[in-house]
Chain A
Amino acid sequence: MSLVQVLFYIMGFIAVASAIFVAATKSLVRSIFMFFITLFALAGLYVLALADFVAITQVVIYVGGILVLILFAFMLSGKETLNYISQQRKQFMNISKLPALLLAGLFLVVLLNMIFKVDAGNLAWIKRSIENKNVITPNAAMTENIGVNLMTSYLLPFEAISILLLVALVGAAHLSRKEPQS
């Protein structure tokens, strides 16, 4: 077992365990802070998938942007939310959680069954890509290639997503403005 594999299992375990903690804990603030750990572990997994630029973007946008946004929205929404959240039901295993647990578990069984049946390492296009040496190697610097591709073959999606981001941010600012006093 190589070092990369050991690192992968550690990262995967941290990601899954902290995600389970996020789902299981009663305290909302604790679950948000634990979600940090999940996102960092996922960034580590992206690095092990040789997608280092995606990992950096994950850390910058998710951890630096989205989570801080969630925290701000949570802290700004007032004391009542905090009280409301702290007075949730106490018992560990609620019977109303059972259908959700069943749904998620059965879906997991279906997904795992499909994953082991499809045997992704032996797909036709992946074999072809290995034959053509079209595989990213650990010593390749892919960021330059990503930049060139972003400005050539993916220019239309890039522009579309920039317009969409602008629209979404203007919409968010419009939604959260103060109502004019009338």
Chain B
Amino acid sequence: MISLTDFLVVSAVLFCIGLYMIVSKHNAIQILIGIELMLNAAILNLAAFGKYDKLNNGGQMFALFAIVLAAATTAVALAIILNVYKKYKTIDPGKIDSLKD
């Protein structure tokens, strides 16, 4: 069978790729994709450890909750990105440097 360490290594690599995207990208949508990658790495860990909890399904249950939370986050974040784009005509987080007034 597949050992837990294999899952952990894959998810660690995915997490670091997401971290790299968040730090280095100049585009809010790509930063959002990086956040999704990090969330997916965490969900992979939850699903992998959830295998050892047959009665309560703790891991799988919270993986489902995390997926739903990611959906809610993305909807709000995209609405904010659209608004920011309307106001500043750019979605580079480094160039958005003033408050409303």
Instruction: Name A residues whose Cβ lies closer than 8 Å to a Cβ of B.
Output: 2, 4-5, 8, 12, 15-16, 19-20, 22-23, 28, 31-32, 35, 38-39, 42, 45-46, 48-51, 53-54, 57-58, 61-62, 65-66, 69-70, 73-74, 76-78, 80-81, 84-85, 88, 96-97, 99-101, 103-105, 107-108, 111-112, 115-116, 119-121, 125-126, 129-130, 134-136, 140, 142, 145-146, 149-150, 153-154, 157, 161, 164-165, 168-169, 171-173, 175-176
Contacts and interface: CB of A to CB of B under 8 A. Distances in A.
A45 B9 CA distance: 13
B57 A66 contact: no
A18 B81 CA distance: 25
Contacts of B48: 49
Contacts of A8: 2, 6
Contacts of B32: 70
A61 B68 contact: yes
Which label, helix, strand, loop or mixed, suits the secondary structure of the B interface? Answer: helix
A29 to B, nearest CB: 10
28 contacts: A4-B2, A5-B1, A8-B2, A12-B6, A15-B10, A20-B17, A22-B37, A23-B17, A38-B40, A39-B40, A45-B7, A49-B44, A53-B60, A58-B43, A73-B82, A78-B85, A88-B26, A104-B19, A108-B16, A115-B9, A115-B12, A129-B54, A134-B52, A136-B50, A145-B54, A157-B65, A175-B79, A176-B79
